[in-house]
Amino acid sequence: MRLFYLLTTLFIFSSQLISQKEITLEDIFKNGTFRTQGVPGFNFMQDGRHYTALSDNRIVQYDLTTGKMVEVLLDARQIADDYKIENYEFTFDERYIVLRSKTNRIYRRSYTAEYVVYDRKKERIRPIDNLNQISYATVDPSGQRVAFVKDNDLYYQHLASKK
């Protein structure tokens, strides 16, 4: 019986050694063989039960367990008839949503865009920096400020006071 276990173990280890593929630089950088796969286009909510996605120019909340729509959090027509939401980011407490639109590409990964903030509690929308083209608008971890770049200078704005 010991001989059987020994032979089985040797067979398993030898087959694993034979089946291993050599890793090349082409596989890593050119072919993307080991690149992680993600699912873009949705954001998890803080409650752990819902997620949001951009659908038909609306931010829609879905139930994570059933996949069914719960509610429309924001319809772009609330802003303007021709407004197009290109991307969005929630603050940590999910009271504010920072929306990006009218993106102008500069280089491969850089761009300027118009950003607005939607206050879910007051149901109001207001621009960041008077709808000037700015870059990299990002909400801070506390969810109280949004930082952005304008004319190569770094700014931040307090969301509640708008200063």
pTM of the model: 0.72
The answer to whether residue 19 scores a pLDDT higher than 70 is no
Query: Binning pLDDT at 50, 70 and 90, where does residue 6 land?
Result: low
Task: Kindly state the percentage of the chain with pLDDT values over 70.
Answer: 84
Q: Which two tokens stand for residue 90?
A: 């929630």
Q: Which two tokens stand for residue 142?
A: 């506390």
Dist CA 64 CA 44 (whole Å): 9
> Could you tell me which residue, 155 or 78, shows the higher pLDDT?
155
Terminal-residue alpha carbon distance, the chain: 79
Write the pLDDT tens digit of every residue in 121-155.
988 888 888 878 998 888 888 888 899 999 889 99
Confirm if 62 and 53 have CB atoms less than 8 A apart: yes
Specify which residues 112 forms β-bridges with: 104
Specify which residues 122 forms β-bridges with: none
Confirm if 110 and 116 have CB atoms less than 8 A apart: no
> Could you tell me which residue, 14 or 21, shows the higher pLDDT?
21
